[in-house]
Amino acid sequence: MRKTIIAGNWKMNHLGSDAKATITGLVSRIPQNVKSEVVIAPVFPYLPMAVEFTKGTPVHVAAQNMHWEESGAYTGEVSPAMLVDIGVTHVIIGHSERRTYFNETDETVNKKADAALKHGLIPIICCGETLEQRERGIMQSWIEGQIEKALKGLTAAAMTKVVIAYEPIWAIGTGKTATSAQAQEVCAIIRKKILALYGSVAADSVSVLYGGSVKGKNVAELTGSPDIDGGLVGGASLKVDDFMAIIENAVIK
C-alpha cells in the first residue's frame, strides 16, 4: 500500500537556467514507467516553470513551504490555494532549516499540514532530532512528540495522503549519514506512533522517507529497510546524474 517516493529538495539553489537544465535533463532520462514516485521542490520563482516542463511526465512538483491561510496580510508568504492554482501537487512542511532559521514550530507545522490536505496538496511533514537530543537519550520521545503535534486533529482518512520525512538534523548537509539500522529504528518509531494514533490502515499507507545525505550508493540499503519508503534528497537532487542514480537504485517494496 505504501509508495516508494524519491523527493528532491533543492533548498535555495539554482538560478533559472540551471533549474531549467536540471528539470529538462531529468525528464529526458526518467522512464515513463518509473516505479517510484519522483518529486522535485525548486524555489518559489521557478515552480511554474517546473510544472510546465514536467507536464505529462512521472515527475511531480513540490513547494518547499507555504502559509496555512487562504489569503491575507502575510507579506512574503504563499497560500496553499496559490500552489494548487499553478499545478503544484506536494509541499514540504516543517523542514529542520525552517524550524531552525524561521521559527517554525510543531503548531505551525500542524496548521500547514491541515491546510495542505484541505486543498488536495500532499504534505511531506519533516521531523528529526539533533545530535544532542540523541546523545541525551530523548530521541524517541522527541520524535513521537513532533509526530503527535504535527498530526493533531487530522482524520485517519486524511492520514492516507500524508508523507513523513525523518531527517536526523545531525546528518543534513554534513556528509554524515545515519546507518540504515539507525534510520530504520526511527522510521519504525514513527510508524508505530501513527499506528497508535490512527490504526493499521493509516500506518500501512503512510510513506516514511529518510532525509540526510542520501546518495546513489546508500539508497538501496536505506530503502531496503522495512520501514523506509524512500528519500528526501538534498544536494544530490541538484545534479541529474546523482538524482537518477538514487531513483534507479531505490528498492521498490
> Structurally, what CATH architecture does the domain formed by 5-249 represent?
Alpha-Beta Barrel (3.20)
The answer on whether 10 is annotated among ligand-binding residues is yes
The answer on whether 65 is annotated among ligand-binding residues is no
- Separation between Cα atoms, residue 157 and residue 47, nearest integer Å: 29
- Phi/psi for 42 (5° steps) reads -75, 175
pLDDT of 1: 76
The answer on whether 137 is annotated among ligand-binding residues is no
Q: What is the mean pLDDT of residues 206-219?
A: 94
Q: Are 147 and 107 in contact (CB under 8 A)?
A: no
Q: What is the mean pLDDT of the chain?
A: 96
Q: Looking at 95, 97, 104, 129, which residue is catalytic?
A: 95
Top pLDDT among 213 and 20 is at 20
pLDDT in tens, 216-228: 999 999 999 999 9
pLDDT of 74: 98
The answer on whether 9 is annotated among ligand-binding residues is yes
Q: Could you report how far apart the first and last alpha carbons of the chain are, in Å? A: 9
Q: Are 109 and 66 in contact (CB under 8 A)?
A: no
The answer on whether 235 is annotated among ligand-binding residues is yes
Q: What is the mean pLDDT of residues 51-63?
A: 98
Contacts of 249 (CB under 8 A, 6+ apart): 216, 217, 219, 220
Note if 95 is an active site residue: yes
pLDDT of 7: 98
Contacts of 220 (CB under 8 A, 6+ apart): 249, 250, 251
The percentage of residues in the chain with a pLDDT greater than 90, rounded to a whole number, is: 92
Residue 173 has pLDDT above 70, yes or no: no
- Separation between Cα atoms, residue 126 and residue 209, nearest integer Å: 9
Q: Is the pTM of this model over 0.75?
A: yes
